[in-house]
Structure 1
Amino acid sequence: MMKNLPQKSIDLLSHINNEIGIDIYKYGNDEVLGKIAGMISFQTYAVSSLYKPLLIAFGLFIFGFFVLELGWIGHILYGLLGLILFLSCGLLYGILSLTSKLKTDLQCITKFGLDTTRYIVSDLNQVNTRLREDIPNPVSLIFEGAIAAFLAPAISQNCSKIPFAGKVITSGSDKALGIVVSNLKKQEDKMNFFGKIANASSELSFKCDEVEHFLQDFSTKVENIINTGVKGVQLPFRIAMYGTAAVLGFFMLCISIF
């Protein structure tokens, strides 16, 4: 399976194996992979989210020929620039719609990753594993490994079947999940888990319970974090759409006057 992963993910999983002694892949049985595939519904809404706005935009463009009084130069200008501007607005609106619907899938995917992390931490307790004190953010590292091993490949595989939108979904998912990982690391720093788990003077079972409660609390915050991440992904597309719409409006005003 690792041969299908990008080098960055392979390096991360090797690092986790070397530093913590966990082979993330052993948790990827058929049931787990089946659940991931069932959660991802990108293909069910990607086509309608993108192509419906494009069709509407094209319909408005054609309608313009009947309502605007244009000379032959106006028809040429409108036919070239108008088509580009209308379709650009439709496409940008479709991307915004698509990324908005993406939030629900990402929330399910992230919570699944946190559940997998809790299971792995529980497994550490059963084998009485001790972590070195120089390993920062071990919980976040395990979560990041679960994303790299199971979630990111599943997203990429499903997105590869979607023309054009696949790259948008993959990029948006990567950025949003990256924000979740960053937030998890910040919260984990406040809890100082790497010191607590590595400290052999206290029972690991107690520490694992504390980690599990921490992950459960963090899971309830995922929705807000994902919303923030998706808004960040949408921002350049939103600016581009408003800018294109303004240019289109100005173009329509000018061509109708002159």
Structure 2
Amino acid sequence: MRVDLNSDLGESFGAYTLGMDEAVLGVITSANIACGMHAGDPQVIAATVKMAAQKGVGIGAHPGYPDLQGFGRRNMALSPAEVKDYVIYQIGALEAFARAAGQKLQHVKPHGAMYNMAAKDYGLALAIAEGVKSVNPELILLALANSEMVKAARDVGLRVAQEVFADRTYNADGTLVARGTPGAMIHDKRVAIPRVVRMVTEGKVTAINGEDIAISADSICVHGDNPEAIHFVREIRDALQAAGVSIEPLQNFI
């Protein structure tokens, strides 16, 4: 049994430093690197790609809406055609930096509002999948488990990895409970870690209403914006390995 650990990185820009990217790269297997629209800048992208390559971490593009002020978390009324072009544009940026570093892109994971909207909207999901395929049909689309993005990726013939979250709760339909809703975030690692292990080994998770739902976990999204968060990721790794799970980049098994 194998699973990937991914994290959103390269979110610093200009004079602003966000996250602890170098430390995070020591505990994950795939990096989703901001492409400059919702966060990141050319210098940060170059440095993050280089660090990921040195650590043997799979390199992914993390395209989002053009919303630097809102960190890409505000819904935008863009057409599917516009979303497709924004995805192509941002993958192109990351692919260029990867090539410059002698590396290849492994995957694409949409960010924030784009990710959440496409999880429920098949038209947007299809636009993202078509954008990814048009750039490189060998790329893996990293998508919310059981979402419309998974369906769209399969419909266009892309490889798809289904993603779960270590610190988020789920609705009964498999969607994430919206940020800001009571109970949306899991802060107690004594609750979070057994949930993660169960999602990977049993394919099940308890929804916010108490109902057990089926879920596929190819990759676990983790965060590393402070030392405590990085320690949490290490504990997740240890618990998974103790359960007989191998931690590997997506390209090894998707």
TM-score when normalising by structure 1: 0.28
TM-score when normalising by structure 2: 0.28
Identify which of structures 1 and 2 has the higher relative contact order when contacts are C-alpha pairs closer than 8 Å and 6+ apart.
1
Q: Which has the higher helix share?
A: 1
Bigger Rg over Cα: 1
